[in-house]
Amino acid sequence: MVKLINPLFSNSAHGKMGGIVYQCNRWGQIARVHVPQRYKPSEKQYQQNFFFGVAADNWRDLTDEQKAELNTRAVPLQMTGFNLYIKENIQHP
C-alpha cells in the first residue's frame, strides 16, 4: 500500500480509478490494487441481506423513546439497542 499526499493533484481521492482503489483509513489516504470478489453470494445470503435491510429501515422509523427503551434493555446483554432490535426482528428463513 502507498500513503498518498495530494493524490491526483487534489486534497483527497476516494473510489476506484482504473485498477486502483483510493480510500482513507486511520493512517491517512491510501491506494491499493482492486481485488474483485471471488464468488457471488448465494440466494440465502441475498435473502438474509434483504431481511437485515428491512429491519434496519424499520429501526430508523422508531421513535426516540422506543430506541431508548431498546438501549436500556440491551445494556445487560452488552450490545446496542440497534443490535438487540435486529436480533429480535430479523426474519430468519
- What would the pLDDT profile of 38-78 be if each residue is shown by its tens digit? 888 899 999 999 999 999 999 999 999 999 999 999 999 99
Structural domains counted in the chain: 2
Q: pTM for this one?
A: 0.59
Q: In the prediction, which pLDDT does 17 show?
A: 79
**Which structural domain, as residue segments, surrounds residue 16?**
2-33
SS3 content of the chain, % helix, strand, coil (to 5): 45, 20, 35
Residue 61 shares a structural domain with residue 82: yes
Q: Summarize the confidence of residues 13-26 as an average pLDDT.
A: 80
**Do residues 60 and 25 share a domain?**
no
The Cα 72–Cα 64 span in angstroms is 12
Whether 38 is in a domain gets the answer no
Highest mean pLDDT among 10-19, 27-36, 45-54, 65-74: 65-74
